[in-house]
Amino acid sequence: MKKHNYSAGPCILPQEVFEKSAQAILNFNNSGLSLLEISHRSDDFVAVIEEARALVIELLGLEGKGYKALFLSGGASLEFLMIPYNLMKENGKAAYLDTGTWASGAIKEAKIFGETVVVASSKDKNYNYIPKGYSIPADADYFHCTSNNTIFGTQMKEFPSVDIPLVCDMSSDIFSRTLDFSKFDIIYAGAQKNMGPAGTTLVVIKEEVLGKTGRTIPSMLDYEKHIKAESMYNTPPVFPIYASLLTLQWLKKLGGIAAIEKLNNAKAALLYAEIDRNPLFRGSAVAEDRSTMNVTFLLNNEAHTPIFDAMWAEAGISGLSGHRSVGGYRASMYNALPLESVQVLVDVMKALESKV
Protein backbone atom coordinates (compact mmCIF):
# COMPACT_ATOMS: atom_id res chain seq x y z
CA MET A 1 0.00 0.00 0.00
CA LYS A 2 1.17 3.52 -0.79
CA LYS A 3 2.21 5.37 2.36
CA HIS A 4 1.27 8.97 2.99
CA ASN A 5 4.11 10.18 5.18
CA TYR A 6 3.24 13.15 7.39
CA SER A 7 6.28 12.78 9.64
CA ALA A 8 7.42 16.07 11.21
CA GLY A 9 11.05 15.36 10.42
CA PRO A 10 13.04 13.45 9.38
CA CYS A 11 10.37 13.40 6.71
CA ILE A 12 9.35 12.44 3.23
CA LEU A 13 11.90 13.18 0.49
CA PRO A 14 11.51 12.77 -3.26
CA GLN A 15 11.51 9.13 -4.38
CA GLU A 16 14.39 9.83 -6.78
CA VAL A 17 16.52 10.89 -3.80
CA PHE A 18 16.01 7.47 -2.23
CA GLU A 19 16.79 5.67 -5.49
CA LYS A 20 19.85 7.68 -6.47
CA SER A 21 21.36 7.73 -2.99
CA ALA A 22 20.89 3.96 -2.59
CA GLN A 23 22.63 3.49 -5.92
CA ALA A 24 25.53 5.72 -4.86
CA ILE A 25 26.07 3.51 -1.82
CA LEU A 26 26.50 0.51 -4.08
CA ASN A 27 28.60 2.22 -6.77
CA PHE A 28 29.25 5.94 -6.73
CA ASN A 29 29.67 7.72 -10.07
CA ASN A 30 30.44 4.35 -11.63
CA SER A 31 33.77 4.33 -9.75
CA GLY A 32 33.45 0.79 -8.43
CA LEU A 33 33.51 2.27 -4.93
CA SER A 34 30.72 3.11 -2.52
CA LEU A 35 29.97 6.75 -1.67
CA LEU A 36 30.56 5.63 1.93
CA GLU A 37 34.16 4.50 1.40
CA ILE A 38 35.68 7.36 -0.61
CA SER A 39 37.79 10.17 0.79
CA HIS A 40 35.95 13.41 1.45
CA ARG A 41 38.93 15.08 -0.26
CA SER A 42 38.43 13.06 -3.46
CA ASP A 43 37.54 14.99 -6.61
CA ASP A 44 34.19 13.20 -6.74
CA PHE A 45 33.09 14.34 -3.30
CA VAL A 46 34.54 17.85 -3.53
CA ALA A 47 32.36 18.25 -6.63
CA VAL A 48 29.31 17.17 -4.58
CA ILE A 49 29.78 19.63 -1.73
CA GLU A 50 30.69 22.48 -4.08
CA GLU A 51 27.60 21.92 -6.21
CA ALA A 52 25.41 21.69 -3.11
CA ARG A 53 26.81 24.94 -1.71
CA ALA A 54 26.36 26.75 -5.01
CA LEU A 55 22.84 25.41 -5.52
CA VAL A 56 21.74 26.70 -2.11
CA ILE A 57 22.93 30.21 -2.99
CA GLU A 58 21.28 29.99 -6.41
CA LEU A 59 17.92 28.68 -5.14
CA LEU A 60 17.78 31.37 -2.44
CA GLY A 61 18.60 34.09 -5.01
CA LEU A 62 21.71 35.16 -3.13
CA GLU A 63 24.30 35.02 -5.91
CA GLY A 64 26.75 37.91 -5.87
CA LYS A 65 25.44 39.24 -2.57
CA GLY A 66 28.31 38.24 -0.27
CA TYR A 67 26.86 35.01 1.14
CA LYS A 68 28.51 31.65 1.75
CA ALA A 69 26.71 28.34 2.31
CA LEU A 70 28.10 25.77 4.76
CA PHE A 71 27.08 22.17 5.36
CA LEU A 72 27.94 21.58 8.99
CA SER A 73 26.82 18.95 11.47
CA GLY A 74 25.40 18.91 14.97
CA GLY A 75 21.91 20.00 13.97
CA ALA A 76 20.22 23.38 14.40
CA SER A 77 20.68 22.92 18.15
CA LEU A 78 24.42 23.40 17.74
CA GLU A 79 23.72 26.67 15.89
CA PHE A 80 21.85 27.84 19.00
CA LEU A 81 25.26 28.35 20.60
CA MET A 82 27.30 29.08 17.48
CA ILE A 83 25.15 32.15 16.77
CA PRO A 84 25.97 33.94 20.07
CA TYR A 85 29.59 32.70 19.95
CA ASN A 86 30.02 34.30 16.53
CA LEU A 87 27.81 37.38 16.84
CA MET A 88 27.39 38.47 20.46
CA LYS A 89 30.13 40.84 21.57
CA GLU A 90 31.82 40.40 24.95
CA ASN A 91 29.45 42.32 27.25
CA GLY A 92 27.12 42.81 24.31
CA LYS A 93 23.52 41.74 24.02
CA ALA A 94 21.18 39.92 21.70
CA ALA A 95 17.45 40.17 20.94
CA TYR A 96 15.24 37.11 20.42
CA LEU A 97 11.61 36.49 19.49
CA ASP A 98 10.09 33.60 21.43
CA THR A 99 7.64 31.72 19.21
CA GLY A 100 7.98 28.17 20.46
CA THR A 101 10.06 25.31 21.78
CA TRP A 102 13.00 25.79 19.42
CA ALA A 103 13.05 29.57 19.74
CA SER A 104 13.13 29.22 23.49
CA GLY A 105 15.88 26.61 23.18
CA ALA A 106 17.94 29.15 21.22
CA ILE A 107 17.26 31.79 23.90
CA LYS A 108 18.45 29.46 26.64
CA GLU A 109 21.82 28.98 24.96
CA ALA A 110 22.25 32.70 24.18
CA LYS A 111 21.81 33.51 27.89
CA ILE A 112 25.00 31.56 28.63
CA PHE A 113 26.90 34.11 26.54
CA GLY A 114 25.41 37.40 27.67
CA GLU A 115 22.36 39.63 27.99
CA THR A 116 19.51 38.19 26.00
CA VAL A 117 16.44 40.36 25.49
CA VAL A 118 13.24 38.52 24.65
CA VAL A 119 11.39 41.14 22.61
CA ALA A 120 8.08 39.25 22.68
CA SER A 121 6.72 35.79 23.43
CA SER A 122 3.57 33.87 22.60
CA LYS A 123 4.10 31.44 25.46
CA ASP A 124 1.01 32.89 27.19
CA LYS A 125 -1.20 31.09 24.66
CA ASN A 126 0.90 27.96 24.25
CA TYR A 127 2.57 29.52 21.22
CA ASN A 128 -0.53 29.44 19.03
CA TYR A 129 0.28 32.80 17.42
CA ILE A 130 3.20 34.94 16.24
CA PRO A 131 3.73 38.09 18.34
CA LYS A 132 3.57 41.37 16.43
CA GLY A 133 4.24 45.02 17.18
CA TYR A 134 7.28 44.38 19.34
CA SER A 135 10.29 46.67 19.29
CA ILE A 136 13.86 45.51 18.89
CA PRO A 137 16.65 47.30 20.78
CA ALA A 138 18.77 49.15 18.20
CA ASP A 139 21.91 48.42 20.20
CA ALA A 140 21.53 44.63 20.19
CA ASP A 141 24.28 42.71 18.38
CA TYR A 142 21.66 40.79 16.40
CA PHE A 143 18.00 39.79 16.27
CA HIS A 144 17.07 36.10 16.16
CA CYS A 145 13.76 34.59 15.08
CA THR A 146 12.33 31.23 14.05
CA SER A 147 10.45 31.34 10.76
CA ASN A 148 8.25 28.30 11.29
CA ASN A 149 7.28 26.54 14.49
CA THR A 150 7.05 22.84 13.71
CA ILE A 151 5.41 21.86 16.97
CA PHE A 152 2.77 24.59 17.16
CA GLY A 153 1.98 25.04 13.45
CA THR A 154 2.65 28.77 13.24
CA GLN A 155 4.76 30.60 10.66
CA MET A 156 6.08 34.13 10.40
CA LYS A 157 4.56 35.78 7.34
CA GLU A 158 6.60 38.96 7.71
CA PHE A 159 10.00 39.71 9.14
CA PRO A 160 11.04 42.92 10.85
CA SER A 161 13.30 45.40 9.09
CA VAL A 162 16.28 45.98 11.33
CA ASP A 163 19.64 47.71 11.09
CA ILE A 164 21.34 44.98 13.12
CA PRO A 165 22.16 41.48 11.79
CA LEU A 166 19.01 39.43 11.24
CA VAL A 167 19.37 35.75 12.08
CA CYS A 168 16.71 33.18 11.32
CA ASP A 169 16.26 29.50 12.15
CA MET A 170 14.46 28.25 9.04
CA SER A 171 14.82 24.55 9.86
CA SER A 172 11.25 23.66 9.06
CA ASP A 173 10.37 25.90 6.13
CA ILE A 174 13.52 26.67 4.18
CA PHE A 175 13.10 26.19 0.42
CA SER A 176 9.31 26.08 0.85
CA ARG A 177 8.34 29.67 -0.01
CA THR A 178 9.75 32.71 -1.75
CA LEU A 179 11.17 35.38 0.55
CA ASP A 180 13.67 38.15 0.09
CA PHE A 181 16.44 36.05 1.61
CA SER A 182 18.89 38.94 1.31
CA LYS A 183 17.11 40.55 4.30
CA PHE A 184 18.77 37.92 6.47
CA ASP A 185 22.40 37.86 7.55
CA ILE A 186 22.48 34.30 8.84
CA ILE A 187 19.96 31.61 7.95
CA TYR A 188 20.35 28.14 9.39
CA ALA A 189 18.40 24.93 9.04
CA GLY A 190 18.72 21.31 10.03
CA ALA A 191 18.53 19.34 6.77
CA GLN A 192 15.85 16.89 7.82
CA LYS A 193 12.75 18.67 6.55
CA ASN A 194 12.96 20.16 3.06
CA MET A 195 16.63 19.66 2.32
CA GLY A 196 17.62 16.08 2.97
CA PRO A 197 18.02 13.39 5.61
CA ALA A 198 19.15 14.02 9.19
CA GLY A 199 22.86 14.56 9.72
CA THR A 200 23.80 17.89 8.23
CA THR A 201 22.92 21.52 8.97
CA LEU A 202 22.82 24.27 6.39
CA VAL A 203 24.18 27.66 7.43
CA VAL A 204 24.01 30.58 4.99
CA ILE A 205 26.08 33.54 6.10
CA LYS A 206 26.62 37.06 4.89
CA GLU A 207 30.34 37.12 5.53
CA GLU A 208 30.54 40.76 6.54
CA VAL A 209 28.73 40.16 9.85
CA LEU A 210 31.48 37.89 11.21
CA GLY A 211 34.66 38.67 13.14
CA LYS A 212 33.32 41.47 15.31
CA THR A 213 32.86 39.96 18.76
CA GLY A 214 36.35 39.95 20.29
CA ARG A 215 35.70 36.40 21.53
CA THR A 216 38.08 33.47 21.21
CA ILE A 217 35.91 30.95 19.42
CA PRO A 218 36.71 27.21 19.53
CA SER A 219 37.62 26.14 16.00
CA MET A 220 34.65 23.89 15.32
CA LEU A 221 32.24 26.65 16.41
CA ASP A 222 33.87 29.38 14.33
CA TYR A 223 32.00 30.24 11.12
CA GLU A 224 35.03 32.04 9.71
CA LYS A 225 37.13 28.87 10.00
CA HIS A 226 34.43 26.82 8.29
CA ILE A 227 34.14 29.37 5.47
CA LYS A 228 37.91 29.50 5.01
CA ALA A 229 38.01 25.69 4.83
CA GLU A 230 35.18 25.71 2.25
CA SER A 231 32.91 23.70 4.56
CA MET A 232 35.56 20.97 5.00
CA TYR A 233 37.26 22.05 8.22
CA ASN A 234 36.99 18.43 9.28
CA THR A 235 35.46 15.35 7.69
CA PRO A 236 31.94 16.42 6.70
CA PRO A 237 28.87 14.14 6.91
CA VAL A 238 29.33 12.78 3.39
CA PHE A 239 26.13 10.84 2.85
CA PRO A 240 23.69 13.42 4.30
CA ILE A 241 25.32 16.10 2.13
CA TYR A 242 25.06 13.96 -0.99
CA ALA A 243 21.37 13.19 -0.35
CA SER A 244 20.82 16.92 0.26
CA LEU A 245 22.40 17.72 -3.10
CA LEU A 246 20.02 15.27 -4.78
CA THR A 247 17.07 16.98 -3.07
CA LEU A 248 18.24 20.43 -4.14
CA GLN A 249 18.71 19.18 -7.72
CA TRP A 250 15.15 17.83 -7.65
CA LEU A 251 13.87 21.20 -6.44
CA LYS A 252 15.73 23.07 -9.16
CA LYS A 253 14.38 20.75 -11.87
CA LEU A 254 10.87 21.33 -10.55
CA GLY A 255 11.27 25.09 -11.05
CA GLY A 256 12.84 26.13 -7.76
CA ILE A 257 11.22 27.70 -4.73
CA ALA A 258 8.55 29.64 -6.68
CA ALA A 259 7.23 26.40 -8.18
CA ILE A 260 7.20 24.43 -4.92
CA GLU A 261 5.55 27.37 -3.13
CA LYS A 262 2.51 27.06 -5.40
CA LEU A 263 2.20 23.37 -4.56
CA ASN A 264 2.70 24.05 -0.85
CA ASN A 265 0.02 26.75 -0.91
CA ALA A 266 -2.39 24.40 -2.68
CA LYS A 267 -1.78 21.66 -0.11
CA ALA A 268 -2.26 24.08 2.80
CA ALA A 269 -5.41 25.60 1.28
CA LEU A 270 -6.95 22.16 0.79
CA LEU A 271 -6.35 20.98 4.34
CA TYR A 272 -7.15 24.23 6.18
CA ALA A 273 -10.40 24.54 4.18
CA GLU A 274 -11.46 21.12 5.41
CA ILE A 275 -10.48 21.89 9.01
CA ASP A 276 -12.58 25.08 8.86
CA ARG A 277 -15.52 23.42 7.09
CA ASN A 278 -15.72 20.12 8.94
CA PRO A 279 -17.63 20.58 12.21
CA LEU A 280 -15.65 17.74 13.84
CA PHE A 281 -12.33 19.60 13.72
CA ARG A 282 -10.70 22.87 14.67
CA GLY A 283 -7.25 24.33 14.00
CA SER A 284 -4.80 24.97 16.86
CA ALA A 285 -3.01 28.04 15.53
CA VAL A 286 -4.66 31.42 14.94
CA ALA A 287 -5.70 31.73 11.32
CA GLU A 288 -3.40 34.55 10.23
CA ASP A 289 -0.27 32.77 11.49
CA ARG A 290 -1.02 29.31 10.20
CA SER A 291 1.94 27.39 8.84
CA THR A 292 1.92 25.95 5.34
CA MET A 293 4.37 23.29 6.52
CA ASN A 294 2.90 21.96 9.77
CA VAL A 295 -0.87 21.96 10.12
CA THR A 296 -1.95 21.44 13.73
CA PHE A 297 -5.58 20.54 14.42
CA LEU A 298 -7.80 18.91 17.00
CA LEU A 299 -10.96 16.85 17.19
CA ASN A 300 -13.74 18.80 18.88
CA ASN A 301 -14.94 15.61 20.52
CA GLU A 302 -12.09 13.54 21.91
CA ALA A 303 -14.31 10.50 21.91
CA HIS A 304 -13.82 10.38 18.14
CA THR A 305 -10.08 9.83 18.55
CA PRO A 306 -9.93 6.01 18.31
CA ILE A 307 -12.12 5.83 15.24
CA PHE A 308 -10.32 8.67 13.43
CA ASP A 309 -6.91 7.17 14.28
CA ALA A 310 -7.96 3.80 12.90
CA MET A 311 -9.34 5.39 9.73
CA TRP A 312 -6.24 7.38 8.79
CA ALA A 313 -3.93 4.49 9.61
CA GLU A 314 -6.05 2.28 7.36
CA ALA A 315 -5.73 4.84 4.56
CA GLY A 316 -1.93 4.45 4.68
CA ILE A 317 -1.29 7.71 6.53
CA SER A 318 1.62 7.75 8.96
CA GLY A 319 3.15 10.34 11.29
CA LEU A 320 -0.07 12.30 11.93
CA SER A 321 -0.05 12.33 15.74
CA GLY A 322 0.41 15.76 17.28
CA HIS A 323 3.31 16.72 19.49
CA ARG A 324 2.62 16.02 23.17
CA SER A 325 2.72 19.76 24.00
CA VAL A 326 -0.21 20.52 21.66
CA GLY A 327 -2.03 17.22 21.37
CA GLY A 328 -4.39 16.33 18.56
CA TYR A 329 -2.89 16.04 15.10
CA ARG A 330 -0.08 17.51 13.08
CA ALA A 331 0.06 17.13 9.32
CA SER A 332 3.57 18.01 8.22
CA MET A 333 3.42 18.81 4.54
CA TYR A 334 7.00 19.34 3.46
CA ASN A 335 8.04 19.94 -0.14
CA ALA A 336 8.10 16.29 -1.18
CA LEU A 337 4.61 15.45 0.12
CA PRO A 338 2.31 15.20 -2.91
CA LEU A 339 -1.08 16.95 -3.10
CA GLU A 340 -2.58 13.48 -3.51
CA SER A 341 -1.55 12.58 0.06
CA VAL A 342 -3.37 15.67 1.37
CA GLN A 343 -6.48 14.68 -0.58
CA VAL A 344 -6.37 11.24 1.08
CA LEU A 345 -6.33 12.90 4.52
CA VAL A 346 -9.16 15.27 3.62
CA ASP A 347 -11.20 12.33 2.35
CA VAL A 348 -10.68 10.52 5.66
CA MET A 349 -11.82 13.62 7.56
CA LYS A 350 -14.96 13.79 5.43
CA ALA A 351 -15.55 10.06 5.87
CA LEU A 352 -15.36 10.51 9.64
CA GLU A 353 -18.00 13.23 9.42
CA SER A 354 -20.36 10.88 7.53
CA LYS A 355 -19.70 8.05 9.96
CA VAL A 356 -20.20 9.64 13.39
**Of positions 153, 165, 199, 328, contacts a second copy by CB under 8 A:** 199
- The region of 36-44, 149-157, 177-185, 291-299 touching a second copy under the rule CB under 8 A is 36-44
d(CA 214, CA 204): 22
**Nearest to a second copy of 57, 198 (CB atom):** 198
**Nearest to a second copy of 130, 172 (CB atom):** 172
**Which neighbouring-strand residues pair with 297?**
283, 329
Which residues, other chains included, contact 342 with Cβ-Cβ below 8 Å and sequence gap of 6+?
267, 270, 271, 331, 333
Least distance (Å) from a second copy to the CB of residue 39? 5
Q: Does 239 bind a second copy (CB under 8 A)?
A: yes
**Of positions 5, 122, 176, 264, contacts a second copy by CB under 8 A:** 5
Q: Does 100 bind a second copy (CB under 8 A)?
A: no
Q: Is 266 flagged in the annotation as binding?
A: no
Which residues, other chains included, contact 103 with Cβ-Cβ below 8 Å and sequence gap of 6+?
96, 97, 144, 145, 146, 149, 169
- The region of 194-202, 248-256, 265-273, 277-285 touching a second copy under the rule CB under 8 A is 194-202
From the candidates 98, 173, 193, 222, give the one annotated as an active-site residue.
193
d(CA 315, CA 2): 9
Q: Report whether 191 contacts 17 (CB < 8 A).
A: no
Q: What is residue 71's three-state secondary structure? A: strand
d(CA 100, CA 323): 12
**69-96 core/surface letters (b: 16 or more CB in 10 A; e: else):** bbbbbbbbbbbbbbbbbbbbbeebbbbb
Residue 188 phi/psi, 5-degree rounding, is -135, 160
**Of positions 154, 172, 176, 192, contacts a second copy by CB under 8 A:** 192
Give, for 68, the enclosing helix (H) or strand (E).
strand 67-72
For the question of residue 102 being annotated catalytic, the response is: yes
Q: Report whether 279 contacts 292 (CB < 8 A).
A: no
d(CA 33, CA 207): 37
Q: Does 73 bind a second copy (CB under 8 A)?
A: yes
Q: Does 159 bind a second copy (CB under 8 A)?
A: no
Applying CB under 8 A, the site for a second copy has a residue count of: 61
From the candidates 98, 169, 185, 289, give the one annotated as an active-site residue.
169
For the question of residue 169 being annotated catalytic, the response is: yes
**Of positions 68, 70, 80, 148, contacts a second copy by CB under 8 A:** 80
Catalytic residues: 102, 169, 193
Q: Which residues participate in the annotated binding site for L-glutamate?
A: 41
Q: Note the residues at the interface with a second copy (CB under 8 A).
A: 1, 3, 5, 7-13, 17-19, 21-23, 25-26, 32-34, 36-40, 73-78, 80-81, 105, 108-109, 112, 190, 192, 196-200, 216, 218-221, 233-240, 243, 318-319
Q: Which residues participate in the annotated binding site for pyridoxal 5'-phosphate?
A: 76-77, 102, 150, 169, 192, 234-235
